[in-house]
């Protein structure tokens, strides 16, 4: 029986790794699209992506894969948790893939490439109407995908499953609602504690210095540049092309240090997770992150819990003052911290403070659910967006670039992704709380430039496990508690209310 299992399992893994290689080629084309592709090459790139998506899908629905999975399931020996986890996830993927026609998979890949190009052009002229026809196409295709995958269930759950395996909105909604109810009082208290006077960081920060400083910090935090790279693009992202090849894209603004620096920190968190996975397991679930929410927990932790802490800047601020001289000459550490920890509702998600950030996500989740379910037409998105921001944050975007064109997720057909940011915030706070319990005063470690203990703690508790354990199991094991909103609310209260009172 065991010999039968070993033979079938070896062949299954070979085939899974071949599928992963095709996917990695598509990712590499995606990275090139973001960093180097001429605008005129978008249509051809769309055909390339469609071809690769079709080839990957053809391999993913091969009936022999189903036969191998059945044989492995029937002969799996006791005490093989890694193999059992791989089989469970590979079975889930096979069943999802077999519900999708190849024509739809290719159409999504082609349309997403062209849609992203149209989104960039519309954002440049700050006019949603130029992008609206493309969004209509994307929504129609994603609805078709959701209907094929849902098997009569909730459409949104089907798309959540692309990022959070087996997630159900009915289970996430109470968690999001509990957080939402806590955010109102926190926002009022945070605004009061921040006061009226704001220290401006709108100064001259040359691009080359921003990049050099960001790369220096990334390396200090543990990102291995001999196995990765950092480039600029229209939308920050992290792509694990394969073992030893993790690529980060970021952006910089010459009059604002924070946009580029915190975007880079965010992606460094993703990159550290990818570089902490087992390279020998690449191409199998055990060599992949357990979920996008868990992945976002790492990026949000490095961007905010670490990157906006006093300890972090106690260590890095003297270097920042040197690198950007004379831009920060008049600003001491306390003033700089006051600026980066200020609570101030604004229209842009990636510039949001930690309290209002999740309100931005809640708005997007409701709008994309409405688009998918047909309660909102694509052409009506700008008006719905403005009303949501007026109601929830008391502000109205100045134009479409400040409004519904600011994110590229929907242009890239990434419906169901936005909840992972809030899931990531919740997990990050809970993990950070546990790390302080296990490692002691993290601020004191950071102030001395000691980031390795936390990275190693995360590698041991999260990164190295890949998909071998579920996100819920990993969070429970690392923190001693199931996922909750309480740690995040406590963190926000401590940083933005208590410490500023």
Return phi, psi of residue 238, to 5°. Answer: -130, 130
Q: Tell me if the domain spanning 170-500 has CATH number 3.40.50.2000.
A: no
Q: Give the residue numbers marked as catalytic.
A: 267
Statement: residue 152 has pLDDT above 90:
no
Rounded CA gap, 273 and 294, in Å? 9
In this prediction, residue 196 carries a pLDDT of: 62
In the structure, what pLDDT confidence band is assigned to residue 500 with cuts at 50, 70 and 90? low
| Residues in contact with 32: Cβ distance below 8 Å, sequence separation at least 6, in sequence order | none
Statement: residue 58 has pLDDT above 90:
yes
In this prediction, residue 445 carries a pLDDT of: 98
In this prediction, residue 498 carries a pLDDT of: 83
- How is the chain split into domains, by residue range? 2-163, 170-500
Share above pLDDT 90 across residues of the chain, in percent, rounded to a whole number: 94
DSSP H or E stretch at residue 239: strand 237-242
In this prediction, residue 487 carries a pLDDT of: 98
b vs e for 295-313, b when ≥16 Cβ sit within 10 Å of the residue's Cβ?
Answer: bbbbbbbbbbbbbbbbbbb
Tens-place pLDDT, residues 400-454: 999 999 999 999 999 999 999 999 999 999 999 999 999 999 999 999 999 999 9
Tens-place pLDDT, residues 15-50: 999 999 999 999 999 999 999 999 899 999 999 999
Statement: residue 501 has pLDDT above 60:
no
Share above pLDDT 70 across residues of the chain, in percent, rounded to a whole number: 99
Q: How many CB atoms lie within 10 A of CB 391?
A: 9
Q: How many residues does the chain have?
A: 501
In this prediction, residue 477 carries a pLDDT of: 97
Statement: residue 52 has pLDDT above 70:
yes
| Residues in contact with 401: Cβ distance below 8 Å, sequence separation at least 6, in sequence order | 123, 126
Can you tell me the mean pLDDT for 106-116? 97
In this prediction, residue 201 carries a pLDDT of: 87
pTM strictly above 0.85: yes
In this prediction, residue 193 carries a pLDDT of: 86
In the structure, what pLDDT confidence band is assigned to residue 499 with cuts at 50, 70 and 90? confident
Tens-place pLDDT, residues 59-80: 999 999 999 999 999 999 999 9
Tens-place pLDDT, residues 466-497: 999 999 999 999 999 999 999 999 999 999 99
In this prediction, residue 407 carries a pLDDT of: 96
Can you tell me the mean pLDDT for 135-160? 96
Question: Is 324 strand, coil or helix?
Answer: coil
Is the peptide bond between 326 and the residue preceding it cis, with omega within 30 degrees of 0? yes
Tens-place pLDDT, residues 179-230: 999 999 999 999 998 876 678 888 999 999 999 999 999 999 999 999 999 9
Angle formed at CA 59 by CA 58 and CA 60, multiple of 5 degrees: 95
CB 238 within 8 A of CB 303: no
Average pLDDT score over the chain: 96
Angle formed at CA 200 by CA 195 and CA 203, multiple of 5 degrees: 175
C-alpha torsion sign, points 120, 121, 127, 128 = negative
Tens-place pLDDT, residues 293-317: 999 999 999 999 999 999 999 999 9
């Amino acid at each position: 029986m065991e010999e039968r299992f070993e033979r079938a399992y070896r062949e299954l893994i070979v085939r899974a790794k071949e599928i992963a290689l095709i996917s990695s080629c598509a990712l590499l084309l995606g990275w090139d699209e973001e960093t180097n592709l001429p605008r005129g090459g978008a249509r051809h790139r769309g055909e390339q992506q469609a071809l690769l998506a079709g080839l990957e899908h053809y391999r993913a629905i091969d009936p022999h894969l189903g036969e191998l999975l059945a044989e492995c399931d029937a002969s799996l020996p006791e005490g093989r948790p890694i193999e059992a986890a791989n089989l469970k996830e590979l079975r889930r993927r096979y069943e999802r893939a077999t519900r999708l026609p190849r024509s739809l998979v290719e159409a999504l890949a082609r349309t997403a490439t062209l849609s992203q190009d149209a989104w960039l052009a519309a954002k440049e002229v700050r006019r949603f109407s130029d992008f609206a026809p493309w969004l209509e196409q994307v929504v129609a295709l994603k609805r078709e995908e959701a209907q094929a995958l849902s098997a009569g269930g909730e459409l949104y759950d089907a798309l959540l499953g692309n990022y959070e395996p087996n997630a159900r909105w009915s289970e996430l909604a109470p968690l999001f609602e509990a957080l939402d109810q806590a955010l109102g009082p926190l926002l009022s208290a945070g605004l009061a504690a921040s006061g009226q006077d704001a220290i401006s960081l709108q100064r001259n920060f040359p691009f080359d210095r921003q990049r050099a400083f960001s790369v220096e910090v990334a390396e200090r935090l543990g990102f291995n540049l001999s196995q990765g790279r950092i480039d600029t693009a229209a939308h920050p992202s992290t792509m694990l092309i394969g073992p030893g090849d993790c690529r980060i894209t970021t952006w910089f603004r010459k009059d604002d240090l924070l946009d580029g620096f915190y975007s880079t920190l965010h992606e460094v968190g993703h990159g550290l997770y990818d570089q902490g996975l087992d390279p020998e397991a690449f191409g199998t679930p055990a060599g992949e992150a357990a979920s996008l929410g868990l992945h976002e927990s790492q990026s949000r932790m490095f961007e905010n819990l670490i990157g906006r802490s006093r300890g972090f800047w106690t260590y890095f601020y003297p270097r920042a003052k040197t690198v950007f001289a004379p831009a920060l000459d008049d600003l001491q550490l306390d003033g700089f911290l006051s600026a980066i920890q200020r609570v101030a509702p604004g229209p842009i998600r990636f510039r949001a403070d930690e309290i209002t950030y999740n309100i931005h996500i809640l708005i997007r989740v409701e709008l994309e659910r409405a688009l998918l379910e047909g309660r909102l037409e694509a052409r009506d998105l700008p008006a719905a967006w403005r009303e949501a921001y007026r109601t929830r944050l008391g502000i109205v975007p100045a134009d479409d670039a400040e409004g519904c064109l600011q994110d590229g997720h929907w242009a890239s057909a990434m419906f169901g992704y936005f909840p992972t940011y809030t899931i990531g915030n919740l997990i990050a706070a809970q993990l950070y709380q546990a790390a302080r319990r296990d490692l002691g005063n993290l601020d004191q470690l950071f102030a001395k430039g000691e980031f390795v203990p936390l990275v190693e703690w995360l590698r041991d508790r999260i990164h190295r496990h890949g998909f071998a354990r579920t996100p819920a199991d990993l969070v429970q094991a690392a923190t001693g508690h199931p996922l909750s909103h309480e740690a995040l609310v406590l963190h926000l209260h401590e940083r933005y209310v208590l410490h500023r009172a």
